[in-house]
Amino acid sequence: MREVNRPVAGVNDFVVKFANVNGTGSASANGLIMKTVFRMGVPVVGKNFFPSNIQGLPTWYEIRVTGEGWSARSGRVDVMVAMNSETYVRDLKEVSPGGYLLHDSSWAHPVLLSREDVTVMGVPLSELCAENFEGARARILMKNIMYAGVMAALFELDLEVMRSLLTESYARKPALVDANMKAIQLGYDYAKANFQTPLPMRVEPLQRTAGHFVMDGNTAAALGCLYAGATVGAWYPITPSTSLMDAFKSFCMKHRVDPETGQRNFLIVQAEDELAAIGAVIGAAWNGARSFTPTSGPGISLMNEFIGLAYYAEIPTVLFDVQRVGPSTGMPTRTQQCDLLSCAYASHGDTRHVLLFPANPEEAFYLSVQAFDLAERLQTPVFVMLDLDIGMNDWMVPDLQWDDAYRPDRGKVLDAQTIQKIEKFHRYLDVDGDGIPWRTVPGTGEKGAYFTRGSGHNRFGGYTEDSVEYQEVVDRLVRKFKTAAGMVPKAIIKGSGAGAGIVSLGSCDGAVLEALAVLTRQGIKLDYLRVRGFPFGEEVEEFLASHEQLFVVEQNRDAQLKSLLTLETAVEKRKLHSILHYSGLPVTSSFIVEGINRAMSKGEAA
Amino acid sequence: MSIAKPKISRPNLPRNSQGLTRRDYEGGMSTLCAGCGHDSITAAIVQACFELSLPPQSVAKLSGIGCSSKTTAYFVSGAHGFNSVHGRMPAIAAGASAANRTLHYIGVSGDGDSLSIGLGQLGHAIRRNVDMLYLLENNGVYGLTKGQFSASAELGSQSKKGEKNDHEPIDPVLLALSIGATFVARSFSGDKEQLVPLLKAGLMHRGFALIDILSPCVTFNDHEGSTKSYAYVREHLHTPVAADYIETRGEIKVDYGPGEAVTVDMHDGHQVVLKKLDHDYDPTDRARALGYVQEHIARGEHVTGLIYLGEGRRNFHERHQTPEQPLNSLPYEMLCPGSDRLGSIIKRYR
């Protein structure tokens, strides 16, 4: 998608994209460049488009330098670092007019000369590596780090910042710092000697990244689990959720191991499949531990039966769905928001579930903590709907705050002493009118003992096949769901008074916010509602009711958020117009701008 | 399924060290068919829990789906129970055990639940060595769906309708032995004398204790031609060792001859005394146990008793290095690193 609404790239405002072969160490070079920009105080966005493969397939990394602090992709590519001859043709095609393409000129590449509006720059990276480094593997790795030096010359990146980043990364192998710096310097010197540097698009130090750090959403969510006091995690490895449990384990090894005894105040079950993973989570939660499972769409499909059990037997369960492209195996390393419906109504029978929609790693942290509170308060599964973009990309995150006065909301759990005082305990009785019954944890006393079952049960917890008794319980679950609507995080609403608005969720947020700014410059004023929880609260109903034209921006083919809105609110379907992005890459601001421009010129949904 | 059983306590009933009678370990009224083997097993569980003086609340009863899985409602009503989904009880057990290692987990399953839909989960519970007693109430048939063969039905066994089973069985004992189970036993629902000590030993075993219990289905699999009928099972039992679970607190009274008895120490300080009925048998030798069971299967015999006992392997919690105090009762202050440390965690990502 060509960006048509923005001026050409310039200082602190450009996109550089790296086309690499996976397994060649390009991730460290690209990460180094991104982090250098960040340390120079300039806001930066990093997006990784990688294959489901260990070694040898094309992979891209896109760095957007954005002094204004936007958090999404813009849709431009100003500089392409084409390190993969397999993808030269498409990489060249993607460069925005007036842009640059850098390649390894150790060999001739006539194909790269086909565009007149792109400046092609060659650096003999392989030759330089062969001359300066020993060993095949080192030469491949150094080739990538060498272009970081070229970037430093082209964009005026601070070499000292690069050195300190390398020193931190290779704290245990200081020799590597020198080798890497040597490669960087070679690249830097070559660029200085052969090109006019810096390019018009370059980095000028700012002070806009103070109070921020760089983290992916899976790590942030794992941190949330740690702070929420989760003790049991069960999972089956699946891209793109794997790094969530990896991070949880690594945090726990640092912060949950008794220094004297070496005992671990957590237990992670690497299950045999997703069915077992969610089963273990349910077993642990039933037994009073905060427990969770990270997974992705295919895992959710497998977990469906158990999710229904947790819903009907009312067991607090926290699931992280790091959404990837479906259907079926789909594209495991690409992003989408395509599990909204399959999570909202997961499992057979009448079921509806609580969903949370974090927009970025910061919210992934806070909403993870809240997910555990909600799951225990509501005694039901809660889904934290992440996606690959949030989960696996590095985001600039405002410093997280923690209130030491926080204590987990364990919900309505009768402790051993209280159980002794009450006359008789009934598991599924709505004594408080909020649809939420009291529960007991195994081991806390005979009087609190009850039988948990997924089969028909009455409000006392007894087995039933009686119509009235059955309906009484499932009708209460509806009341509980209504209670949930008032408890999930409120939608974020921006602007007021416009007749039209955007409705979106999750990782679309950054692109929507930027699109709104662009549209405002064009004279188009729109309000914005970002839903953060399901069931939808009153504020969602009000926003939908008070706007005549609504653009629903989401990242799936079938307009799943729109479907949810139509099914679960009073909104008139004619008011909703979908803007759908489902290529597998994170949505860009220009895509949304163009979608809205197009719809408005056609007079759609008006 | 949960019809309350009237509690009649007679003053002269024997009481255990908890001050409880055997009746205190009963549960709801069974709704299984009259004469069902499962009900005898339930009675044996009640007896074993009573004899071990387990506080009822220290027991957690877990099951999947099927006739066998219903029985968790029929014993120890003072314990929490969890009737989960078909074939997935082992996952619930692993999670429950992760949260609280101090409870006695009794999992009740059947041959459909464990050997078909839940074969994978059974295998992995064994692999993890989850601390639990796992009972496989084995009748070779699907009862609730009216008589289909299960994966444990022997080749050539006849259904009630006269159909012959065309598949070799999956034997849970062979399976458990071959993938490293630490406690493997087989018994018969009609042999309470053998079953009760096995249940007690299994409950006290540190790790996964599997007891495959042949438990004839009176409605769908108790006819001529069935290899899981009362008559067939009774005629084809072979018991190489008799097991006695001994509490060391009491005096050990063993009336076995010299060389006949093997004593195995259990982690709780108790012992299992095994009386060899077959002098060649060694229940602590996994490979020989495997061979022995296979030889007898080839002769159409069901080997029963404590077939293998190995106390050495690390159990689930030992592998995970969890503390003695259950994870579900660790104070939040021990779990949350707090705001200062959050600052230093973030610092690494600048």
Which of the four pLDDT bands, split at 50, 70 and 90, describes residue A108? confident
User: Does residue B350 fall inside a structural domain?
Assistant: no
User: Does residue B3 fall inside a structural domain?
Assistant: no
Which CATH homologous superfamily contains domain A13-194? Pyruvate-ferredoxin oxidoreductase, PFOR, domain III (3.40.920.10)
Q: What pLDDT is attached to residue A55?
A: 83
Q: What pLDDT is attached to residue B245?
A: 77
User: Does residue B39 fall inside a structural domain?
Assistant: yes
Model confidence pLDDT, tens digit, residues B136-176 = 999 999 988 888 999 999 999 998 888 999 999 999 999 99
State whether B100 and A288 contact (CB < 8 Å): yes
Contacting residues for B66 by C-beta, under 8 A, at least 6 apart: B86, B109, B110, B112, B113, B142, B143, B144
Contacts of B98 in chain A (CB under 8 A): 231-232, 234, 267, 269, 280, 283-284, 289, 291
Look at the block and give the residue holding tokens 């048998």. B281
State whether B81 and A450 contact (CB < 8 Å): yes
Model confidence pLDDT, tens digit, residues B46-86 = 999 999 999 999 999 999 999 999 999 999 999 999 999 99
**Which of B73, B88, B321 shows the shortest C-beta gap to A275?**
B88
User: Does residue B187 fall inside a structural domain?
Assistant: yes
For chain B, how many structural domains are there in total? 1
Give the tokens for residue A429. Answer: 């009785």
When comparing pLDDT for A141 and B96, which is higher?
B96
CA distance between the termini of chain B: 60
Q: In chain A, pLDDT over 90 holds for what percent of residues?
A: 92
Q: What pLDDT is attached to residue B9?
A: 66
Query: Does the ipTM exceed 0.90?
Result: yes
Which of the four pLDDT bands, split at 50, 70 and 90, describes residue B252? very low
Examine the pLDDT at B132 and tell me if it is beyond 50: yes
Rounded-to-integer distance, Cα A413 and Cα A450, Å? 13
Q: Could you please report the per-residue DSSP string of B157-200?
A: PBPTTSPBP-SPPPPHHHHHHHTT-SEEEEEETT-HHHHHHHHH
Examine the pLDDT at A251 and tell me if it is beyond 90: yes
Give the dihedral sign, CA A159/A163/A169/A175.
positive
HSE-CB for A426 with a 13 A CA cutoff: 13
Domain A492-602 CATH assignment equals 3.40.50.920:
yes
When comparing pLDDT for B303 and A55, which is higher?
B303
Task: Give the class (CATH, top level) of A215-398.
Answer: alpha beta
According to DSSP, the β-strands at B237-238 and B302-303 are parallel
Q: What pLDDT is attached to residue B206?
A: 92
Model confidence pLDDT, tens digit, residues A367-422 = 999 999 999 999 999 999 999 999 999 999 999 999 999 999 999 999 999 999 98
State whether B73 and A444 contact (CB < 8 Å): no
Mean predicted confidence (pLDDT) in A293-313:
98
Q: Say which CATH number the domain at B95 has.
A: 3.40.50.970
Contacts of B102 in chain A (CB under 8 A): 443
Identify the closest residue of chain B to A362 by CA–CA distance.
B346
Q: What pLDDT is attached to residue A447?
A: 93
Examine the pLDDT at B259 and tell me if it is beyond 60: no
State whether A282 and B81 contact (CB < 8 Å): no
Q: What pLDDT is attached to residue B258?
A: 53
Nearest-CA distance from A171 to chain B in Å? 13
Judge whether A215-398 and A492-602 match in fold.
Answer: yes
Angle between helices B89-99 and A274-286 (to 10 degrees): 50
Which of the four pLDDT bands, split at 50, 70 and 90, describes residue B107? very high
Domain boundaries, chain A: 13-194, 215-398, 416-485, 492-602
Q: In chain B, pLDDT over 70 holds for what percent of residues?
A: 93
Model confidence pLDDT, tens digit, residues B22-40 = 999 999 999 999 999 999 9
Examine the pLDDT at B1 and tell me if it is beyond 70: no
Nearest-CA distance from B323 to chain A in Å? 5
Examine the pLDDT at A120 and tell me if it is beyond 80: yes
Q: What pLDDT is attached to residue B263?
A: 75
Q: What pLDDT is attached to residue A606?
A: 42
Nearest-CA distance from B94 to chain A in Å? 6
Q: Please count the residue pairs, one from chain A and one from chain B, whose beta carbons lie less than 8 angstroms apart.
A: 226
Q: What pLDDT is attached to residue A210?
A: 96
B126 interfacial to chain A (CB closer than 8 Å): no
Q: Pick from A272, A397, A401 the residue to mutate for testing the B interface (most B CBs within 10 Å).
A: A272
Residue range of the domain that includes B43: 22-333
Which of the four pLDDT bands, split at 50, 70 and 90, describes residue A7? very low
User: Does residue B4 fall inside a structural domain?
Assistant: no
How does the average pLDDT of chain A come out, rounded? Answer: 95
User: Does residue B146 fall inside a structural domain?
Assistant: yes
pTM of the model: 0.95
Among A112-116, A341-345, A395-399, A435-439, the range scoring the smallest mean pLDDT is A112-116
User: Does residue B189 fall inside a structural domain?
Assistant: yes
| A residues 382-411 closer than 8 Å to B (CB) | 397, 399-404, 406-408
